[in-house]
């Protein structure tokens, strides 16, 4: 079975969040099941620079007014197709925003081009000798792919649309529609028209054969007004085609027994060796040595992620005997609030702005607990990394966080299945109470180590989820 995966980012080439990790890890998990994946991504400078060997396998004379080339390459086991279109992708900023943090004004064109290229490749006339059996699009940036396919030669090829976060929908003014190379009938409720605008994700959800999201709980939550972000009605009409498949992680990249980014390797049977990573973390963030738990945050600093709650309780966390290390960037006010807390509590709170992949590994290996107070979370990956590294997750009871963490309540502890701490309501009081529960458990070393080792035994790989994707793909082909 040949699958064309279409995404705006893929690890290890370009990453702004968990989407890249998923797109990068899933192909390897599918391969043992006879599913071969080629991943189409834009030719950003960061992508092209990392391709040591590349081969031209296709081209477009006129893709939204510009010539484009399709390059084939392999890196870290990924079979890549790269859309080389400098006029749209050769930018100094990130994949979506310029150097000042503003969205590129032509993002609609940049990702419509990616989607149209995917649809043309799916038709079998671009990459000689290769045609996918399934096309799998990820998030709004590629959501026009099934729309273009509906109106093109690949209309019979089954499509899957995965929602990684429904809050990001790719909504643009109606004035962009004439530039999208779609027939006039596509600007209707059955396709991309969305409250008078053009909705990229809306169009993908209307036209894809199957819709998935990244956890079973989130698949249920997005059917409600609270979490559906205006698309709950459409999703309810397609509920028979909607499923939630929880994400996994690349267990080779995230392995505390082999990780090159940490100070000392360890396993569930050698937790004492985590101490060397704690010392390295204290040194990296300028923390005073002490016996209290170190909490970490590795996150975008946004309201959705509940980072305002972390800023609000930071002083109390220190007063209760904890320490805090933060890695992330995002909302300027939240960055400022957390930096101010770090300034007030030198030696007890440390912060690094931006994103640093090696440092994120050390934080998981050296911290005692990771705070994930998201107001909504489709799946989340940092809690899975935490489980793998004995860094106990403290999570809001929502979406994939609720699906992947077993709460250390009395029943969970008695049954010896607890892997972390859930809390609700998702507000400052809820987080305060959770931290108090963590401190109580941490004060009992046998209880704490049991939670750690139970988490490290959790299967957070792609094995089970890959089987579900294979079943989904096979069902679509059977329907065809």
Please tell me the predicted confidence (pLDDT) of residue 415: 96
Please tell me the predicted confidence (pLDDT) of residue 73: 97
CA distances, 405 to each of 26, 373, 395, 397, 454 (Å): 21, 13, 8, 9, 11
In the annotated binding site, the residues are 15
Q: Looking at the chain, how many residues does it have?
A: 480
Determine the Cα angle at 129 with ends 126 and 134, to 5°. 75
Tokens of 440: 């109580």
**Burial classification of residue 78, based on how many CB atoms lie within 10 Å of its CB (0-12 exposed, 13-18 middle, 19 or more buried):** buried
Q: How far apart are CA 217 and CA 398, in angstroms?
A: 7
Please tell me the predicted confidence (pLDDT) of residue 480: 42
The rounded Cα 230 to chain-centroid distance in angstroms is 21
Q: How far apart are CA 51 and CA 62, in angstroms?
A: 25
In the annotated binding site for ADP-alpha-D-glucose, the residues are 15
Task: Report the number of secondary-structure helices (H) and strands (E) in the chain.
Answer: 19, 18
Tokens of 327: 């890695």
Q: For the chain, what percent of residues have pLDDT higher than 70?
A: 100
Name residue, tokens 């990820």: 138
**Ramachandran bin of 5, using left for φ above 0, alpha for ψ from -120 to 50, beta for the remaining angles:** beta
How do residues 342-370 score in pLDDT, each as one tens digit?
A: 999 999 999 999 989 999 999 999 999 99
Please tell me the predicted confidence (pLDDT) of residue 41: 98
DSSP strands (E only) in 302-365: 323-328, 349-353
Q: How far apart are CA 81 and CA 245, in angstroms?
A: 25
Question: Quick check: 334 and 308 in contact, CB under 8 A?
Answer: yes
Please tell me the predicted confidence (pLDDT) of residue 101: 86
Average of per-residue pLDDT across 420-425: 98
Q: Quick one: pLDDT band at residue 255, thresholds 50, 70, 90? A: very high
CA distances, 51 to each of 14, 23, 26 (Å): 12, 17, 20
Q: How far apart are CA 229 and CA 463, in angstroms?
A: 31
Question: Quick check: 327 and 298 in contact, CB under 8 A?
Answer: yes
Average of per-residue pLDDT across 299-312: 97
Average of per-residue pLDDT across 109-131: 97
Average of per-residue pLDDT across 36-59: 96
Name residue, tokens 């799916």: 122
Q: Is 479 a residue whose pLDDT tops 80?
A: no
Compute the chain's Rg from CA coordinates: 23
Average of per-residue pLDDT across 262-270: 97
CATH class entry, domain 271-457:
alpha beta
170 contact partners, CB below 8 Å, separation of at least 6: 107, 108, 111, 140, 141, 143, 199, 200, 201
How do residues 148-164 score in pLDDT, each as one tens digit?
A: 999 999 999 999 999 99
Tokens of 391: 């860094």
Residues of the chain with CATH 3.40.50.2000: 2-248+463-479, 271-457
Average pLDDT for the chain:
96
403 contact partners, CB below 8 Å, separation of at least 6: 215, 216, 217, 246, 379
Please tell me the predicted confidence (pLDDT) of residue 174: 98
How do residues 212-226 score in pLDDT, each as one tens digit?
A: 999 999 999 999 999
Beta bridge pairs of residue 36:
2
Q: Is 470 a residue whose pLDDT tops 90?
A: yes
Q: Does domain 2-248+463-479 have CATH number 3.40.50.2000?
A: yes
């Amino acid at each position: 079975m040949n699958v064309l995966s279409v995404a705006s980012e893929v690890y290890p080439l370009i990453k702004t969040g968990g989407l890249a990790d998923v797109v990068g890890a899933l192909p390897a998990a599918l391969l043992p099941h006879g599913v071969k994946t080629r991943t189409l991504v834009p030719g950003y400078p960061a992508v092209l620079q990392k391709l040591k060997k590349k081969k031209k396998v296709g081209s477009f004379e006129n893709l939204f007014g510009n010539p484009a080339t399709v390059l084939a390459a392999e890196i870290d086991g990924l079979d890549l197709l790269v859309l080389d279109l400098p006029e749209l992708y050769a930018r100094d900023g990130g994949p979506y925003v310029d150097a000042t943090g503003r969205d590129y004004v032509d993002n609609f064109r940049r990702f419509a081009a990616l989607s149209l290229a995917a649809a043309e490749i799916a038709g079998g006339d671009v990459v000689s000798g290769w045609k996918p059996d399934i096309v799998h699009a990820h998030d709004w940036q590629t959501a026009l792919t099934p729309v273009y396919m509906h109106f093109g030669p690949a209309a019979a090829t089954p499509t899957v649309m995965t929602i990684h976060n429904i809050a990001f929908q790719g909504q643009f003014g109606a004035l962009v529609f004439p530039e999208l190379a779609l027939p006039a009938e596509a600007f209707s409720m059955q396709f991309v028209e969305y409250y008078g605008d053009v909705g990229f994700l809306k169009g993908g959800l209307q036209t894809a054969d199957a819709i998935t999201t990244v956890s079973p709980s989130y698949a249920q939550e997005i059917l409600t007004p609270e979490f559906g972000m205006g698309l709950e009605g459409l999703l309810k009409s397609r509920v028979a085609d909607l499923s939630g498949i929880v994400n996994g992680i690349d267990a080779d990249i995230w392995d505390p027994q082999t990780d090159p980014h940490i100070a000392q390797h360890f396993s569930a049977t050698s937790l004492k060796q985590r101490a060397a990573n704690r010392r390295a973390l204290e040194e990296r963030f300028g923390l005073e040595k002490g016996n209290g738990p170190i909490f970490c945050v590795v996150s975008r600093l946004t309201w959705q992620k509940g980072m305002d709650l972390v800023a609000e309780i930071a002083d109390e966390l220190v007063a209760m005997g904890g320490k805090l290390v933060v890695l992330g960037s995002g909302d300027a006010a939240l960055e400022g609030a957390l930096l101010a807390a770090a300034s007030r509590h030198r030696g007890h709170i440390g912060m690094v702005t931006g994103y640093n992949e090696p440092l994120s590994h050390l934080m998981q290996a050296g911290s005692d607990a990771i705070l994930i107070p998201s107001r909504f979370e489709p799946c989340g990956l940092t809690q899975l990394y935490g489980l793998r590294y004995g860094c106990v997750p403290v999570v809001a009871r929502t979406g994939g966080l609720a699906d992947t963490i077993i709460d250390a309540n009395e029943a969970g502890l008695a049954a010896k299945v607890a892997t972390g701490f859930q809390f609700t309501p998702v507000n400052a009081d809820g987080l305060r109470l959770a931290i108090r529960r963590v401190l109580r458990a941490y004060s009992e070393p046998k209880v704490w180590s049991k939670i750690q080792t139970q988490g490290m035994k959790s299967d957070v790989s792609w094995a089970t989820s890959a089987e579900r994707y294979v079943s989904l793909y096979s069902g679509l082909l059977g329907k065809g």
